[in-house]
């Protein structure tokens, strides 16, 4: 975005435990164990249940900014702490399905058949290996041709919305629905924006991550004015923050200056563990619950849950 300047400012520091580095007897392993306990034990953190089903589309047409990683880890964070979550994988790459341990080879019931109206969401949803509260409608490679197939269909922008408004979804009764978008602004992303109440935009803490954001926001405005007036950008999530680079701090400050309180206080650090987890069909919360990456995604999930609750009572 050309209009964005880069004032410098401190990054948001997140305390990770009550027992800190300066306390006598502190060890890194102890800190890790404390984090793992918080991440894995639902009784240590109670997340408010939203009063209405929240449908959140995770979008950014720029590739590789952390859409899928954020979708699956936020979903897992909410699910591990008692909320029922449905993830719709709307990217033919099927990365969210992989990370959630859900089969997505060609031929399995998937979001493709749901968009065509052949099956309902409940028929396509599979339980994730990551939590009993977590369900995923997988994407298979069949979805790759769907943008073209959808063009000739009736109400082509509203296919996902229609599918999510069905009784089948009421049977699953998710508190949260997350829709993981492909890196484009095509018909699949438009379907996700029409179906949602909220947009979550992950922004990578790198210079080029800001480019193209204006185009995404203009597209969201177009959907708002023509197809879904209730849609709003509720959440900005800074991802892949590398504390060793000055640029990461600059981008963080810039995004906060531009988006204000929409930006979550929690920033997701760049971490090898986060990128390894999908290779084991896991989220970071189960792959390495004691890591800072796991803690930060749980903190982000908590912020999202608490903000939703605040908004409803405000």
Ligand X SMILES: Nc1ncnc2c1ncn2[C@@H]1O[C@H](COP(=O)(O)OP(=O)(O)OP(=O)(O)O)[C@@H](O)[C@H]1O
Task: Summarize as ranges the residues that interact with ligand X (CB under 6 A).
Answer: 63-69, 91, 95, 183, 239-240, 268, 270-271, 274-275
Which residues in the chain belong to E strands, given as ranges? 54-58, 85-89, 126-127, 134-137, 176-180, 198-204, 232-239
- Is-contact 13 299, C-beta < 8 A? no
66 or 289, CB closer to Mg ion? 66
Q: Residue 252: is it exposed, middle or buried by C-beta count within 10 angstroms (0-12/13-18/19+)?
A: buried
Min CB(41)–Mg ion separation in Å: 29
Instruction: Report what 131 binds from Mg ion, ligand X, none; CB cut-off 5-8 Å by kind.
Output: none
Task: Specify the residue, 95 or 140, whose C-beta has the smaller distance to Mg ion.
Answer: 95
For the chain, count helices (H), then strands (E). Answer: 14, 7
- Which residues within the stretch 223-262 sit at the binding site for Mg ion (CB under 5 A)? none
Question: Which of the listed partners (ligand X, Mg ion, none) does 279 bind, with a CB threshold of 5 to 8 Å by partner kind?
Answer: none
Q: Which is nearer to ligand X, 120 or 275 (CB)?
A: 275
Binding-site member from 54, 67, 270, 292 for Mg ion (CB under 5 A): 67
231 closest CA partner among 184, 169, 187, 189: 189
Return d(Cα 81, Cα 133) in angstroms, integer: 9
Q: With beta carbons less than 8 A apart as the criterion, state whether 65 and 236 touch.
A: no
Q: Closest distance between ligand X and the C-beta of residue 117, in Å?
A: 25
- Regarding 68 and contact with Mg ion (CB under 5 A), the answer is yes
Comparison of 139 and 195: residue with beta carbon closer to ligand X: 139
Shortest distance, position 199 Cβ to ligand X, whole Å: 14
The helix/strand/coil state of 151 is helix
Q: Which is nearer to Mg ion, 178 or 287 (CB)?
A: 178
Nearest approach in angstroms of CB 95 to Mg ion is 5
Closest by Cα among 194, 185, 132 to 163: 194
Torsional class of 117: left (φ above 0), alpha (ψ -120 to 50), beta (otherwise) = left
Residues 6 or more apart whose Cβ sits within 8 Å of residue 25? none
Shortest CB 73 distance to ligand X, Å: 9
Residue 270: which of ligand X, Mg ion, none does it interact with, CB under 5 to 8 A by kind?
A: ligand X
Shortest CB 314 distance to ligand X, Å? 31
Find the binding residues for Mg ion in span 82-101 (CB under 5 A): 95
Nearest distance, CB of residue 92 and ligand X, angstroms: 10
Q: Residues touching Mg ion: how many (CB under 5 A)?
A: 3
Site for Mg ion in 187-226 (CB under 5 A): none
C-beta closer to ligand X: residue 96 or 169:
96
Closest CA to 129 of 171, 183, 72, 207: 72
Give the residue from 72, 166, 163, 157 showing the smallest Cα distance to 110: 163
Give the binding site for Mg ion (CB under 5 A).
Answer: 67-68, 95
């Amino acid at each position: 975005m050309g209009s964005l300047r880069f004032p410098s400012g401190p990054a948001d520091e997140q305390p990770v435990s009550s027992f800190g580095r300066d306390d006598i007897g502190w060890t890194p392993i102890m800190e890790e164990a404390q984090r793992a306990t918080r991440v894995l034990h639902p009784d240590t953190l109670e997340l408010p249940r939203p009063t209405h089903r929240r449908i959140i589309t995770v979008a950014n047409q720029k590739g590789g900014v952390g859409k899928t990683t954020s979708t699956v880890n936020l979903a897992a964070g909410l699910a591990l702490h008692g909320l029922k979550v449905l993830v719709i994988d709307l990217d033919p790459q099927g990365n969210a399905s992989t990370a959630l341990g859900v089969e997505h080879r060609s031929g399995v019931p998937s979001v493709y058949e749901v968009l065509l109206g052949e099956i309902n969401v409940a028929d396509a949803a599979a339980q994730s290996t990551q939590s009993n509260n977590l369900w995923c409608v997988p994407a298979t490679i069949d979805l790759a041709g769907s943008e073209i197939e959808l063009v000739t269909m009736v109400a082509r922008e509203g296919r996902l919305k229609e599918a999510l408004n069905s009784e089948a979804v009421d049977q699953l009764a998710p508190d949260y629905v997350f829709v993981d978008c492909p890196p484009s602004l095509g018909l699949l992303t438009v379907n996700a924006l029409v179906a949602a109440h909220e947009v979550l935009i992950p922004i990578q803490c790198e210079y080029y991550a800001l480019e193209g954001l204006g185009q995404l926001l203009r597209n969201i405005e177009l959907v708002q004015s023509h197809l879904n007036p209730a849609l709003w950008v509720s959440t900005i999530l800074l991802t892949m923050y590398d504390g060793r680079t000055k640029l990461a701090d600059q981008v963080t400050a810039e995004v906060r200056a531009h988006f204000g309180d929409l930006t979550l206080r929690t920033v997701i650090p760049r971490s090898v563990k986060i990128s390894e987890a999908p290779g084991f069909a896991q989220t970071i919360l189960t792959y390495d619950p004691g890591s800072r990456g796991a803690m930060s995604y749980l903190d982000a999930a908590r912020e999202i849950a608490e903000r939703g609750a605040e908004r409803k009572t405000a």
